[in-house]
Amino acid sequence: MDGESVVLPSWEEAERAGAAQPPPERLACGGAVVRKAVLLQGDLIAAAKRVGREIPELAAGRRHVLVLGGFAGDPAERALLAWATVAGAALLLEPEPMSYVPTAVWARPTVFAGTAADLVRLRAAAERDEAGFKIFRRRRRLPFGRLSAVLVTEGELPPEETAFWGERGVRVGRIGFAAERQERGI
């Protein structure tokens, strides 16, 4: 049932079918159900804050641009979506995995999140973009004119990749379950 939506019965229908009333704390706030996990509003806000710590603030009046390409059941994608919602980021969805990096290049995001392999592909695109500017003896400070953060969601980013982004003023961070477990000391 991955990625499918399900129509839930009304509370009255669920109660007639014998469902127990949820505890009061569950009724007091919003949340989401992903697979078998119930995420409270507080869980989503905490995830947004964790992601937000990895992303530099923009100047007043500007907003972040983010491209997402996964399923909201993935913890990293869910955290990114929560952050984008809280931060008011412009969000572009790309469902085709092979088009994820090209779509991000086209969108010129301020934040890019992907696997270590995605970041290697993004670097190649950034180098091609920089080559065009070198013809005119100019070099932009940030890749694609505004990329300020790249976030690794899976895999290990080699030191030379981290150095590439750092040399261009791009913050490199990590999100996902591994980062969350490390933060909690698990």
CATH code of the domain containing 165:
3.40.50.980
- Strand stretches in the chain, DSSP E: 31-34, 37-40, 65-68, 90-93, 111-115, 149-154, 171-174
Q: Measured between alpha carbons, how far is 55 from 63 in angstroms, rounded to an integer? A: 12
pLDDT digits (tens, 9 = 90+) for 38-95: 667 788 888 889 999 999 998 888 999 999 887 667 888 888 999 999 999 999 999 8
Is 25 contained in some domain? no
Q: Measured between alpha carbons, how far is 70 from 93 in angstroms, rounded to an integer? A: 8
Is 13 contained in some domain? no
Please tell me the predicted confidence (pLDDT) of residue 119: 93
Is 178 contained in some domain? yes
Please tell me the predicted confidence (pLDDT) of residue 64: 94
pTM higher than the cut 0.85? no
Helix axes 41-52, 75-87, angle to 10 degrees: 80
Q: Measured between alpha carbons, how far is 43 from 49 in angstroms, rounded to an integer? A: 10
Q: Residue 157: which residues within 8 A CB-CB, separation 6 or more? A: 116, 119, 172
> Which two structure tokens, joined as six digits, stand for 43?
């869980």
Is 36 contained in some domain? no
Is 64 contained in some domain? yes
180 three-state secondary structure: helix
32 three-state secondary structure: strand
Q: Measured between alpha carbons, how far is 100 from 103 in angstroms, rounded to an integer? A: 5
CB atoms within 10 A of CB 24: 7
Specify the range with the lowest mean pLDDT, choosing from 39-48, 136-145, 155-164: 136-145
Is 119 contained in some domain? yes
Number of domain units in the chain: 1
Is 121 contained in some domain? yes
Is 70 contained in some domain? yes
* Domain enclosing residue 101, as ranges: 45-184
The residues with which 90 forms a beta bridge, in sequence order, are: 65
Question: Confidence class of residue 15 from pLDDT cuts 50, 70 and 90?
Answer: confident
DSSP 64: -
First and final CA of the chain: distance in angstroms? 29
